[in-house]
């Protein structure tokens, strides 16, 4: 099936209040353009250099989301245009995003990445680190970033019970975090293999790649 057809099917499967991030990492410009022509305006990439090349080449009404792990020394390359950084997992990174955003007279929206999976390899804050960060004076002093919610990745498994449990834990943390920062409104969870469960568990933003663009 074509990219346009895949997009149509995904959109039928998600409620309209859930935001769809089309994850286009590794895919050529022509594929992104096909999704753009089908109406898609939000794209997710996981490498800053690749995202920047695509931003330069493509229409300027696209919202670029950085969904991958971010190295502090690369923030400067996306600070001018990035719409949302999903994978913020340290105060150090938040501080750098704030610094670079300020240079461009912008406020950059961020999600704090929380560790919900059983796998040791996934990045993210734990509950204590998350709540400490949100409560800290250093965090409140950053004026050029805005934390709008949380992001998490479930364990890569077909055990639906486990995936659901992990999404539930992220949603519960979102509620806890909201008692500290009451403007939080975004829970980024769910990918091609698990977005239906994620939406049932409260996701407001899904990041879908292979179901739109094909396998990588
Ligand atoms: C690649 C990626 C996705 C999309 O994965 P698919 O299984 O292709 O839908 C979502 N989120 C993150 C963080 C990713 O790196």
- For the chain, the structural domain boundaries read 3-213
Question: The tokens of 189 are what?
Answer: 């969870």
| DSSP tag of 204 | S
According to the model, what pLDDT value does residue 122 have?
63
Percent of the chain with pLDDT over 90: 96
Distance 117 CA to ligand 1 centre (A): 15
**Which residues, 6+ apart, have CB-to-CB distance to 127 below 8 Å?**
114, 173, 176
pTM recorded for the entire structure: 0.97
Q: How many of the other CB atoms lie within 10 Å of CB of 101? A: 24
Residue 118: pLDDT over 90: no
Q: Are 49 and 17 in contact (CB under 8 A)?
A: no
Say if ligand 1 is within 6 A of residue 192 CB: yes
The candidate with the shortest Cα–Cα distance to 111, out of 82, 81, 80, is: 82
Rounded distance from Cα 137 to ligand 1 centre (Å): 33
What rounded mean pLDDT belongs to the chain? 97
> Of 35, 111, 187, 209, which is best to mutate to test ligand 1, by the most ligand atoms within 8 angstroms of its C-beta?
209
| Ligand 1 site, residue 207, Cβ cutoff 6 A | yes
**Confidence (pLDDT) at 120:** 72
Fold category of 3-213 in CATH: TIM Barrel (3.20.20)
């Amino acid at each position: 099936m074509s990219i346009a057809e895949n997009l149509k099917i995904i959109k039928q499967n998600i409620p309209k209040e859930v935001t769809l991030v089309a994850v286009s990492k590794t895919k050529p410009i022509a594929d992104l353009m096909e999704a753009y022509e089908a109406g898609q305006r939000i794209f997710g990439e996981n490498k800053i250099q690749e995202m920047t090349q695509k931003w330069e080449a493509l229409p300027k009404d696209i919202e670029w989301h950085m969904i991958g792990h971010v190295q502090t020394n690369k923030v400067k390359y996306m600070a001018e245009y990035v719409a949302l950084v999903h994978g913020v997992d340290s105060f150090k990174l938040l501080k750098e995003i704030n610094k670079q955003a300020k240079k461009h007279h912008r406020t950059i929206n961020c999600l704090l990445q929380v560790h919900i999976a059983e796998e040791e390899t996934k990045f993210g804050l734990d509950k204590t680190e998350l709540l400490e960060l949100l409560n800290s004076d250093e965090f409140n002093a950053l004026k050029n970033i805005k934390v709008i919610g949380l992001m998490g990745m479930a364990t890569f498994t077909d055990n639906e019970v486990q995936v659901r449990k992990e999404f539930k834990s992220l949603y519960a943390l979102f509620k806890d975090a909201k008692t500290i920062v009451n403007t939080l409104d975004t829970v980024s969870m769910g990918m091609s293999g698990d977005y239906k469960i994620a939406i049932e568990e409260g996701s407001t933003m899904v990041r879908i790649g292979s179901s739109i663009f094909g396998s990588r």
